[in-house]
Structure 1
Amino acid sequence: MNFTATAAKALVGFLLALTLGACSSPQVAQYANEKPVLELSEYFNGTIDAYGIFTDRSGAVQKRFTVLMQASWKIVDGKKVGILDESFEYSDGTKQKRIWTLTETAPGKFVGKADDVIGEALGESSGNALHWSYTLALPVDNSIYHVQFNDWMYLVTPKVMINIAKMSKFGIDLGEVTLSFYKR
């Protein structure tokens, strides 16, 4: 088979489009009509239990953990501000604490801060979904690694939410955190 320059360009263009399409990420707006609608200040208010695992890039479970979260919101300078106080307990017996401060900067737009988050977490919600992007200072053995989180939360029922967070460093997949939240 003899390809002409035009046919070769068309094939390269098709393969490039196919590759880019396969790499595209979901957009939070595509969940706009999904129910129940996630209202962050309603769901993350009160006591929430979470159960999770960390899987490495091969899919093997490396850690199991539980989280007890106490959450509350108030209005500060006309904006909703939430405090999410998380207490983690890992399967190896270690414990960790993270306190998030979330601020709704516009309808469906959020900024999050915590001591181990580098800079700010940026969040956007629509319908039943919330998407967060942030860099976390992650302790591993005796070192701290700055890893990127691509974090998706989906409200399944008014009391249950599923969270899938992909971790990467320099664009290389490190693993995934999967959590199931239950609002008491």
Structure 2
Amino acid sequence: MKKLFSRIITLAFFGLFLVSCSTPQVSQYANEKPVLDLSEYFSGTIDAYGIFTDRSGEVKKRFTVLIKANWTIVGGKKVGTLDESFEYSDGTKQKRIWTLTEQSPGNYIGRADDVVGDAQGQLAGNALNWTYTLALPVDGTIYNVQFNDWMYLVTPKVMLNKAKMSKFGIELGEVTLSFYKR
């Protein structure tokens, strides 16, 4: 009986572990409003305000981003350019220019100079999930870190963003952003 009880406890623990490791799917947001249209939201000027927190939750950096965005049609596909200018609390500045291409409704590929390969984006309802590897400079060394990036449109002008950073499956920290469309 003791052995059976031990096995039940082990199976229950394993089941809880598997459930805790599951991640949300973008499709579960399909009915959420307002509906996010990337080419509509990321058009014109957008201001963003963010923080980077380490694994313990301590704020390590604060930053602002000025985004100038526009879209065109290339080869029958929507192609967006997001020109991002970052300014960090320590006075450093950074530039990133994204090129986003709609592959099919709700599916996007993103490219930027410091993104390794293609960023993969899926959109449904008010949510967008990006996954990508970023070549991140830290103290003179470049580290390739994985991002699992979630954006949620809250109002037609406000979007919230949470991105988890990891390396070899180990969480390094989180980036939290709020976007405001002018």
TM-score, structure 2 normalization = 0.97
Counterpart mapping for 1:97-176 below 5 A: 97-176=95-174
Distance, in Å, in 1 between the alignment partners of 2:90 and 2:55 is 20
Q: Where does structure 2 lack aligned partners over 5 or more consecutive residues?
A: none
Q: Residues of 1 paired with 2:131 and 2:144: CA distance? A: 13
For structure 1, the 5+ residue unaligned runs are: none
Q: CA deviation at 1:17?
A: 1.5
- Deviation track 1:22-80 (CA, whole Å, cap 9, x = no partner) reads 11000101101110000000000000000000011111111100000000001111100
Matching residue of 1:53: 51
- The percentage of counterpart residues that share the same residue type is 73
Amino acid in structure 1 at the alignment position of 2:87: E
Give the secondary-structure state (helix, strand or coil) at the position aligned to 1:166: strand
Task: Name the SS of the counterpart of 1:92 in structure 2.
Answer: coil
**Residues 108-151 of structure 1, C-alpha deviations (whole Å, 9 max, x = no match):** 00000000000000000000000000000001111110000000
The question of 1:86 aligning with 2:84 is answered: yes
Query: Aligned equivalents of 2:2 and 2:128: distance in 1?
Result: 50
Distance 2:124 2:177 in 1: 20
The 1-side partners of 2:43 and 2:23 are apart by: 29
Root-mean-square deviation (CA), in Å?
A: 1.1
Query: Which residue of 57, 61, 64 corresponds with 2:62?
Result: 64
Question: What is the Cα deviation at residue 16 of structure 1?
Answer: 1.6
Shift of 1:15: 2.0
Match of 1:3 in 2: 3
Q: What is the CA distance between 1:11 and its match in structure 2?
A: 3.5
Deviation at 1:174, TM superposition (A): 0.5
Distance of 1:9 and 1:43 partners within structure 2: 52
Amino acid at match of 2:63: F
Aligned length: 182
Tell me the TM-score normalized by structure 1: 0.96
1:25 corresponding residue in structure 2:
23
Determine helix, strand or coil for the equivalent of 1:110. strand
Give 2:18's aligned amino acid. Answer: L
Match of 1:35 among 29, 33, 36: 33
